[in-house]
Structure 1
């Protein structure tokens, strides 16, 4: 009996010893570099924002934040990689809304469920989009665009960065709201879509303010409306969609940080604190204002999670109504 008791005690000691490193790791998080997966190519706006955020978060957390660009499949490749990573806070995802709340409705063979397999940490940007036309198109207002479309059935087309992308889905919602018909021309990315817009080969496009504002200011594109609830400081002459007569069409593109599902709440709290410091830093403010986007107030993790849930439902209805497929 004594031998059995001794063995039991030894077994308990073994379990405690095995658990000790895990408990210590949790108490000392982070204990290694943090990987921030960015599911877009290096050199783009999301990548630039990720590097600014990463440097600041690394300083706050006392560890290097490594940017890992994993583009492909509309953001699905990098998103899946982050979701499948160990849920210990040493891998996070910086993503726009498409791979989180649109792709689950447009792709039929996803290996993850982004809403269930990722935890929202915090939103870092929430920016309106802008409706533009090529300068050669004889319209200067939304009303004139509607009139032109109805007077010239089957003539208008619009560009998107790909089937199922945010600007594709947003344009389908716009078509429904305005009761107009435009042919969809999908491209393999935003750059070639914009190139054909600038070349006058496509008539209409909707995309983030930050992407199109330089071309609007130079006169290469004509802006008809901003999709936010108020005009933007960088272009106060452009009316909102509400002012332009588009019903029920206030929408934002957003970008946020996520962690794998199962990440301990205490770790998520540390990540959120570091993220809040990053988005209130002067470096981040300078970048956002310089890009023509808008600064946002710090929001709680719960508010971001609610935004994700609402947008998942909202865009799912649009995708279903327009029968949009990305694969």
Structure 2
């Protein structure tokens, strides 16, 4: 086997090889044993936004259910800032031992890499997907003074008005901003973008007539819709919202190909044992199928949506590629 080596040297190399193999086997057994005993202490769930929003609500609805399923407390930790980048970065750099997970969103996973000159983390390399959690619904709403009752009528009017039509958003690079840019591209419009520091200020100016349209989250828009202060023309995603069942999707209303979903998903730091990912995924899928969980989220315009780690990874990668093109074509810049 080793023709140029003496017998003692051969035996020595065999011994070294055997020790290396034994070490590898021991490491595998140790990781497996660790995963089987997990969890033995509380788990941190990082929400990369301030309390009160849709991501925070989703985390707080899931956390107690996950605590019950795992037999250990799941503690929600809000670490907001920079559109979620700070919190997600904290999660990405945590120890991959199964005791830190983080909620990522379309913004800080699929869109930010194309807007930031330097990302603090690589969503594809530094994070491992566990499951999609939800689709946060957005709705296209206009000021009632705008003489349109359908998406097609709005497009026809906007083509006549040109850049005199403006759309507001919760900030440059946010989902509602990107939705407006996709609408511009598919409809052949040149609406002017007006960024705000949040969805609520944008809604206030829509009601006041300072902007003509926004693509707001349902939670932000629902009271103004029901109060007749704004008019809903279409849902931005690929499904209707039960509480606004008469409002079609924008694609159904005539703008074929329009589909903007503000999704959330659960991630762990890269390097986490596979067995823990499998366990977390199984429990999260069960939780998101619970009627009380689905109802509580749906009341806020959030649709509980689970997936396998592999399916979620493929979806996030496809979304990343898709938004790269949108950002480039629309020449979108952050503030």
TM score, norm. by length of structure 2: 0.87
Matched-pair contact (CA < 8 Å) for 1:141–1:244: yes
**Which residue in the other structure is 2:127 paired with?**
118
Matched-pair contact (CA < 8 Å) for 1:57–1:277: no
Cα-Cα RMSD: 2.4
Matched, 1:34 2:43: yes
- Distance in 2 between residues matched to 1:251 and 1:163, nearest whole Å: 16
- Distance in 2 between residues matched to 1:198 and 1:71, nearest whole Å: 28
User: What is the deviation of 1:315?
Assistant: 0.7
Matched-pair contact (CA < 8 Å) for 1:25–1:31: no
- Distance in 1 between residues matched to 2:71 and 2:129, nearest whole Å: 22
**Which residue in the other structure is 1:142 paired with?**
151
- Distance in 2 between residues matched to 1:194 and 1:72, nearest whole Å: 22
SS state at 1:211 partner:
helix
- Distance in 1 between residues matched to 2:59 and 2:162, nearest whole Å: 43
**Which residue in the other structure is 2:333 paired with?**
325
**Which residue in the other structure is 2:5 paired with?**
none
User: What is the deviation of 1:294?
Assistant: 3.5
**Which residue in the other structure is 1:189 paired with?**
198
Q: Summarize deviations over 1:26-49 as a string: whole Å, max 9, x none.
A: 331112211111111112222122
The range that moved more, 25-34 or 88-97, is 25-34
Matched, 1:228 2:233: no
- Distance in 1 between residues matched to 2:290 and 2:218, nearest whole Å: 22
- Distance in 1 between residues matched to 2:182 and 2:311, nearest whole Å: 25
SS state at 1:41 partner:
coil
Higher alpha-carbon Rg:
2
Matched, 1:306 2:319: no
Matched-pair contact (CA < 8 Å) for 1:101–1:115: no
**Which residue in the other structure is 1:153 paired with?**
162
- Distance in 2 between residues matched to 1:150 and 1:23, nearest whole Å: 62
User: What is the deviation of 1:233?
Assistant: 2.0
Matched pairs, number: 314
SS state at 2:222 partner:
helix
SS state at 1:114 partner:
coil
Q: Mark the CA change 1:230 to 1:256 in structure 2 (over 3 Å): closer, same or farther.
A: closer
Matched, 1:275 2:287: no
Matched, 1:208 2:217: yes
Alignment of 1:244-255 (within 5 A): 244-255=253-264
Q: Summarize deviations over 1:224-270 as a string: whole Å, max 9, x none.
A: 11233343322121122223211211232211101111111101111
